[in-house]
Amino acid sequence: MDHQQTSASNGCPLAHGHHGFEPFDQKNPFVAYAEMRREQPVMFDERVGYWVVTRYDDVKAVFDDWETFSSENAQAPVRQRGAEAKKIMDEGGFTAYSGLSARRPPEHTRIRKVAQKAFTPRRYRALEPSIRAHVVRRIEQMLARSDARGDFLMDLAYDVPTVTILTLIGADTEKVDLFKQWSDSRAAMTWGDLSDEEQIPHAHNLVDYWQECLRLVQDAHDHDRDTLVGDMVREQQAGDEITDHEIASVAYSLLFAGHETTTTLISNSMRVLLAHPDQWQRIVADPTLIGPAIDEVLRYSGSIVAWRRKALKDAVVGGVEIPASSELLLVMGSANRDESRFDDGELFSIDRENSREHLSFGFGIHYCLGNMLAKLQAKIALEEIVRLMPNVQLQDGVDIGFRDNLSFRVPLEVPVKWKVAA
Ligand code: HEM
């Protein structure tokens, strides 16, 4: 396919280049997003090989049409695996791919049904008191410091959602650092821009991570566990059609998706709200505004800014012809600021009435399974921060960086300070 011709035929002069879009650079992608929405809302980017889709209606329509646009590439490595990494993974018995997000119906429908039966609100709501106690413990540890300074990412957001998901799954809650390390490896190996050499330590981590998922399933067969994996094994024993490999794959999904993005959501909530002190003060005065504020954070600064799909047949997106087998990058981070859906889309406002229309959890049959748990944990964290450290502020003069990644927009820190009570 001649992409130059396609660009020109869309009326976009080639001089526009990529409109400033750098696929892996998450520092401030929003200026480029706005230009793409305006100038070339469906653009082929030959550096990654994806059609980049940036308008709200187009992103939503593609998510919604699973028969034309499959998610089978959602977990594929953006950069090919190097020979050495591949060897390590093959020899280590790494056969994981995706629990749900990259599976297609009818397989996806069958497995999601089993996972959903196990992942009930009853199961995670029961954890609410322990999540709250954990948050309070972390805040008290912060407040005990004599320099009255901290980093919300590492001091609170890092381990609260991780302990929650490890508890739900039935994994060892003492191994937070190990699971975080494995998850970082998964994010880097799938959506990162690593050289062959750089992939090697991550390949070892992925082998260990997958072996742990297989062990968890075996353990649930050997012992009757009151955990999510235990529930799925019982469903299997009661006749639901799901294999041990599929249960391990769901665990492999949840042990990543279940904390990584929530760590980012809690971090982003504090980062963005404290950057808008007037709005922070409003939620301090009225904590019932926390729910809407979290929806607005998800719209304005989502944890995942881009997600992939593959065209199963020739299709048209936003008036542009997309040939069968093309891969698409749906930029939710851009769709969420599209002025055609969100007035003053670049503006952060907890008063916005339609924040919840954001696409940060995707849309359609793959809509995020854990969205309620993510929001619940962010709500608990904010409620306790508002209560225990209402005068917290961002540290002065810090320019917060973001990790390089195609999909996950992860701040490196959220440095804060507070006044010590007299
Ligand atoms: C702020 C937090 C989160 C964000 C932004 C997020 C975002 C997403 C996105 C964009 C998708 C793909 C949707 C699509 O393809 O249409 C997804 C799917 C999924 N998420 Fe989340 N997620 C979050 C938290 C969680 C949590 C806490 C869990 C589990 C405990 C979870 C589990 C899943 C699973 C299992 C899927 C695959 C669903 C399927 O394919 O049927 N996520 N999420």
Q: What is the pLDDT of residues 145-177, one digit of tens each?
A: 999 999 999 999 999 999 999 999 999 999 999
**Residue in 51, 33, 36, 48 with CA at minimum distance from that of residue 329:** 51
Preceding amide of 13 cis, omega within 30? no
CA angle 233, 129, 274 (to 5 degrees): 115
CA of 410 to the centre of ligand 1 (A): 16
Q: Who lines ligand 1 at CB under 6 A?
A: 63, 71, 99-101, 112, 165, 253-254, 257-258, 261-262, 265, 302-304, 307, 360-364, 366-370, 373-374
Mean pLDDT, the chain, rounded, equals 95
> For a pocket test of ligand 1, which of 328, 361, 380, 382 has the largest count of ligand atoms closer than 8 A to its C-beta?
361
pLDDT of residue 422: 64
- Secondary structure element (H or E) that encloses residue 4, with its range: helix 3-9
CA distance 51 to 45: 6
Tell me, what's the pLDDT at 86?
Answer: 97
Choose the residue to mutate in 100, 361, 368 for probing ligand 1, maximizing ligand atoms within 8 Å of C-beta: 368
Q: Which residues sit opposite 209 in a β-bridge?
A: none
372 sits in which H/E element: helix 371-388
CA angle (204 as vertex; 198, 210 as ends), nearest 5: 130
Supply the pLDDT for residue 148.
Answer: 98
For residue 201, pLDDT beyond 60: yes
* Within-domain flag for 353: yes
Ligand 1, from 112, 327, 369, 373: best to mutate by most atoms within 8 Å of Cβ?
369
- Atom of ligand 1 at shortest distance to CA of 303? 5
The fraction of the chain above a pLDDT of 70, given in percent, is 96
Q: Which residues contact 14 (CB under 8 A, 6 or more apart)?
A: 4, 7, 8
Q: Does the residue 332 lie in any domain?
A: yes
pLDDT in tens, 17-73: 799 999 999 999 999 999 999 999 999 999 999 999 999 999 999 999 999 999 999
The per-residue pLDDT for 420 is 83
Domain that holds residue 138: 3-417
- Residue 340 in any domain: the answer is yes
Quote the tokens at residue 178.
């190990």
β-strand partners of 52: 43, 329
Q: Is residue 281 part of a domain?
A: yes
Helix axes 277-285, 371-388, angle to 10 degrees: 90
Mean pLDDT, range 77-87, rounded to an integer: 95
Q: Which residue has the higher pLDDT, 10 or 227?
A: 227
Number of domain units in the chain: 1
Give residue-wise pLDDT tens across range 228-261: 999 999 999 999 999 999 999 999 999 999 999 9
Cβ(247)–Cβ(229) under 8 Å?
A: yes
Q: Is position 317 within any domain? A: yes
Distance, CA of 350 to CA of 386 (rounded, Å): 16
**Of ligand 1's atoms, which has the minimum distance to the CA of residue 259?**
27
pLDDT at 2: 35
DSSP state of 25: -
Q: How far is the CA of 83 from the centre of ligand 1 (A)?
A: 30
Separation of 365 CA from ligand 1 center, angstroms? 11
Any domain includes 204: yes
DSSP H helices in 223-302: 228-237, 244-257, 260-274, 277-285, 290-300
H-only helix segments in 65-193: 83-91, 107-118, 121-125, 128-143, 152, 160-169, 176-191
- Calculate mean pLDDT across residues 202-214: 98
Q: The tokens of 166 are what? A: 């490890």
What are the residue ranges of helices labelled H in 40-106? Answer: 56-64, 83-91
The tokens for 192 are 């990162």
Question: From the CA of 54, how far away is ligand 1's center (Å)?
Answer: 20
Over residues 108-128, the pLDDT tens digits come to 999 999 999 999 988 888 999
- Ligand 1 atom nearest 63 alpha carbon: 16
CB < 8 Å & 24+ apart, contacts of 321-328: 321/6, 322/42, 322/51, 323/1, 326/51, 327/49, 327/50, 327/51, 327/73, 328/50, 328/51, 328/52, 328/53, 328/62, 328/69
Task: Express each pLDDT in 261-316 by its tens digit.
Answer: 999 999 999 999 999 999 999 999 999 999 999 999 999 999 999 999 999 999 99
Q: Is the pLDDT of residue 14 over 60?
A: no
Would you say residue 367 lies in a domain?
yes
Q: Is residue 422 part of a domain?
A: no
CATH of the domain at 43: 1.10.630.10
Half-sphere exposure of 339 toward its Cβ, with a 13 Å CA cutoff?
10
Atom of ligand 1 at shortest distance to CA of 302? Answer: 5
